[in-house]
Structure 1
Amino acid sequence: MTMNNFIFENSTKVFFGKGCVKEYLCCLTKAYGDTVMLCYGGGSIKKNGIYDEVTNILEAAGKTVVEFSGIMANPTYAKVLEGAKLAKKNDVSLLLGIGGGSVMDCCKAISIAARYDGDVWEDFWKRPGVFDFEPLPLGVIVTVAGTGSECNGGAVITNEELKIKTGRDYPQCNPKFALLDPTYTYSVPKKQMVSGGFDILSHIMEIYFSEPNEDNVSDDISEVLMRSAIRNLRAAIQNPQDYTARSNLMWAATMAENRVIKLGKRMDFECHQMEHQLGAYTNCNHGEGLAVLHPVYYRHIYKYGLPKFKRFATEVMGVSAEAKTDEEIALAGIEALEDFIVEIGLPVSLQDLGVNENTDLKEIADSCALMPGSYKKMTHEEILGIFKECY
């Protein structure tokens, strides 16, 4: 199978580097109306000074600021509707999300819901939606490196009533601008930094471990990005204020999800599916859930994509191929990945995530979508088996 045909465009304008918010935010907001809705999470931006910096800039630019806080780690559909209601009531002209993937994803869903009168879940999340309107414009200021949500239209939302956590990627929801200051990530707690860092690696692996297996640019870039993510995550753990490491992690997160390495690839994302449904039922941390699942999942599929797993072992994880069969090399690569997960302090079992004997793993497994891009066609029974092995 050769590289798939594709059309590529990314409409988000990125401003990267130390001081970029001070330098550009004021002029960027001039293109929009008077009312900005500031969207953020639990309020850590008030402790680290980012909130004051941003609100001062907006006020100096003559903007009316409407606040929407409390966006949770797995943003819910109810929270999206709450935000849309506030945006409509105040005739908001620009959404400004400050935070990580959860805030950005929630804002994208709000940008649709604030301009749409129908049932947003039914028409845009349950199935792919059609736009005959312009979503509310969105700008983002990134404070956590991980999801890469700043340069795509993707948003993962949890419908608590239906127990479904699902993502859609609409280019119309790409942020108009993204401000990436690596120093804004310094104050992120270690646990959050590490799980975000693993999410970067996971996104790249999900794309890499899929057809085509023939020589292609996307796989070449992916290998470099995976090595960079591993190297810089180690450096950032050693010194949380290592600007080089933080810059590289921030840009690797963006590169993993700005659609560049997805071009021509089938993509897997079965592991993300499994984690999303675990999250929908247990509200576990996304990066931690992925760390538990990936090695076990890969042991189930590696034989079906052996050349790629062998290449991952030698090119990314630095496994020596000497005196080993292809299978042994591939397995050594998965083991090296597992060792790295332990080294950076991520959990290795579902019990570590708070899953207990009362959790209905079969119900969760049955709720997982079966992704067409996996090297091995999954069944709900096999997914249940993976959950049990992870327990």
Structure 2
Amino acid sequence: MQNFTYYTPTRVVFGKGEVERVGELLRAEGARKVLIHYGGESARRSGLLERVERAVKDQGIDFVSLGGVVPNPRLSKVREGITLARAEGVDFILAVGGGSVIDSAKAIGYGIPYEGDVWDFYSGTAQPERVCPVGAVLTLSAAGSEMSNSSVISDEENGLKWGLNNDICRCRFAVMDPELTYTLPPYQTACGVVDILMHTMERYFTHEKDTALTDELAEGLMRTVMDCGRKALRDPKDYNARAQIMWAGSLSHNGLTGCGTVGDWASHRMEHELSALFDVAHGAGLAAIWGSWARYVYREEPERFAQFAVKVMGCPNDFRDPEKTALAGIEAMEQYYREIGMPTSVRELGHDLNESEIQLLAEKCARRNPNLGGFKTLSQDDMIQIFRMARG
């Protein structure tokens, strides 16, 4: 088991109606003027923004608003938010939405006190030292950004989608009301389930041996999310299913399921290139990539994949042939993706990859991640092979 530091400073306020407490949470943080950052107009039509604004006003806190965040959040919107926040004297950012909105809010937070361009942080040419604080009202269970130290932003002009991990961006608080997820389209619910699973699997597939408790936490989380994903798709207003998924989304990406392990984020990094090229939903892109990655790397330690097959996917254990068990587990996970309406190839995403696109995807990924992977280190040629396999 590796040494680790587990740091989770975010205050979680969970349950029905807790959005009404957002004003007092902002007051406790000393906020005087807030930027309320959100996505589409559905937040306004649903009445959620009015509830949030009323809660803020009731505490005597001033605010300005900026909507328009889209999936794979755009650098141009981040820059717009930085300009607005500076002009208005904003001292706190409240993200009302899912991972894309929270990531955009974090990026704005990085940019407000910085004299250069915020993309410097994402390109790695500078490191943030200060941030305007961020809080969240979560409306989509998926990215786990409400409790993570990560933010991923797309530079749409240059076709880049890059992430930044830094503890100073962690949300001061996260309000999580599962009822806010009732109206999500089934496709978004399923994408969220995949993202949660993948945040756990990227930490789970490791060569570390003495991680029994961390393994059990990860395995239980994955089984729960898969079961509750089915239930939420059958009945979108199943509160208990929505609640389990929402809490799992936070735990899957706040570091808990990776304590003591060395993770492998190859599927995420490769999917980022897919998203940058085709603007696909992140969870769907992950589902399209994962099976090909798994089949390419499982021989590095088939016993680990066999453990996943048995303990997570419920496959019978062929003790004489761990490779057979490992492959059964990979196929079972892909079958689950199909069951919830997710793709298992790029073609099923609606794109036919040609050879030049495959070469471009691999080249861009390798340039950003020259030693990609932990379970198996991938060269650019390895990435080409995985993208070819994922083509479908």
TM-score clears 0.5 = yes
Q: Which residue of 68, 71, 81 maps to 1:70?
A: 68
Q: CA deviation at 1:305?
A: 2.1
Change (3 A) 1:54 1:315: same
Q: 1:328 aligns with which of 320, 324, 328?
A: 324
- Give the Cα–Cα distance (whole angstroms) in 2 for the partners of residues 323 and 4 of structure 1: 28
In 1, Cα distance between the equivalents of 2:34 and 2:319?
62
Shift of 1:93: 1.7
What is the CA–CA distance in structure 1 between the aligned matches of 2:87 and 2:228, rounded to whole Å? 44
Q: Which residue of 1 aligns with 2:234?
A: 238
Corresponding residue for residue 376 of structure 1: 376
Deviation at 1:371, TM superposition (A): 4.5
Contact 2:23–2:57 (8 Å) recurs in 1: no
1:188 counterpart = 2:215:
no
Contact 1:349 1:390 in 2 (8 A): yes
Distance 1:262 1:129, change over 3 A: farther
| 1:129 to 1:265, Cα distance in 2 relative to 1, 3 A | farther
State the match for 2:264 in structure 1.
268
d(CA) in 1 for partners of 2:10 and 2:387? 37
Match in the other structure for 2:90: 92
- Cα distance, 1:289 vs structure 2: 0.5
Find 1:145's aligned residue among 125, 141, 145: 141
| Cα displacement (A) at 1:170 | 1.0
Please give the secondary structure, in 2, of the residue aligned with 1:257.
coil
Greater shift in the superposed pair: 356-365 or 110-119: 356-365
Distance in 2 of aligned mates of 1:338 and 1:357: 20
Letter in 2 for 1:389: M
Supply the distance in 1 between the matched residues of 2:208 and 2:83 (Cα, whole angstroms). Answer: 44
Q: Mean alpha-carbon deviation: is it higher for 279-288 or for 27-36?
A: 27-36
Contact 1:211 1:373 in 2 (8 A): no
Question: After the TM superposition, which residues 1-391 of structure 1 pair with which residues of structure 2 at under 5 Å, given as runs?
Answer: 3-22=1-20, 24-30=21-27, 31-122=29-120, 124-127=121-124, 129-133=126-130, 135-322=131-318, 325-356=321-352, 360-368=357-365, 369-391=369-391
Displacement of 1:342 in angstroms is: 0.7
Query: 1:64 is matched by which residue type in structure 2?
Result: D
Is the partner of 2:301 in helix, strand or coil? helix
In the TM superposition, residue 372 of structure 1 has moved relative to its aligned partner by 4.6
Give the aligned residue type for 1:386: I
Could you say what secondary structure the match of 2:257 adopts? Answer: coil
For the 8 Å contact 1:292–1:390, the answer to whether it is kept is yes
SS at match of 1:37: strand
Query: Displacement of 1:27 after TM fit?
Result: 1.2
Provide the rounded CA distance (Å) in 2 between the counterparts of 1:131 and 1:191. 35
The whole-number CA distance in structure 2 between the counterparts of 1:290 and 1:345 is 13
Q: Distance in 1 between matches of 2:285 and 2:262?
A: 23
Greater CA deviation, 163-172 or 135-144? 163-172
Is this contact kept in 2: 1:232–1:246, CA < 8 A?
Answer: yes
**Alpha-carbon offset, residue 175 of structure 1:** 0.7
**Whole-Å Cα distance in 2 between the matches of residues 28 and 68 of structure 1?**
20
Q: Aligned residues: percent identity?
A: 35
Residue pair 2:34, 2:91 contacting (<8 A) in 1 also: yes
Contact 2:37 2:93 in 1 (8 A): yes
CA gap of 1:235–1:73, structure 2 versus 1, over 3 A, is: same
- 2:164 is paired with a residue of what secondary structure? strand
The Cα shift of 1:279 comes to 0.7
User: In 2, are the aligned partners of 1:266 and 1:373 still within 8 Å (CA)?
Assistant: no
Matched residue type, 1:308 = R
Verify the 8 A CA contact 1:152 1:174 in the aligned structure 2.
Answer: yes
Give me the TM-score of the superposition, normalised by structure 1. Answer: 0.95
Alpha carbons of 1:342 and 1:371: their partners in 2 closer, same or farther (altered >3 Å)? Answer: farther
Provide structure 1 residue ranges, at least 5 long, that are not aligned to the other structure: none
Q: Distance in 2 between matches of 1:274 and 1:8?
A: 27
The alignment partner of 2:114 has SS state of: coil
Report the more deviating stretch, 8-17 or 370-379.
370-379
Deviation string 1:239-295 (CA, Å, 9 cap, x unpaired) is 111111000000100000111222221110100010001111111110000011111
CA contact (8 A) 1:210 1:373 kept: no
Per the TM alignment, residue 61 of structure 1 is displaced from its structure 2 partner at its CA by 2.0
Separation in 2 of the partners of 1:205 and 1:361? 24
CA distance in 1 between partners of 2:160 and 2:207 (Å):
28
Report if aligned partners of 2:372, 2:379 keep a CA contact under 8 Å in 1: no
How far residue 160 of structure 1 moved from its aligned partner, in angstroms, is 2.2
Aligned in 2, Cα 1:376/1:153: closer, same or farther, shift over 3 Å? closer
RMSD of equivalent CA atoms: 1.6
- The one-letter amino acid paired with 1:53 is R
Q: Return the offset for 1:351.
A: 2.1
Distance 1:132 1:376 in 2: 33
Amino acid at match of 2:292: V
TM-score by length of 2: 0.94
> Per-residue deviation at 1:322?
4.5
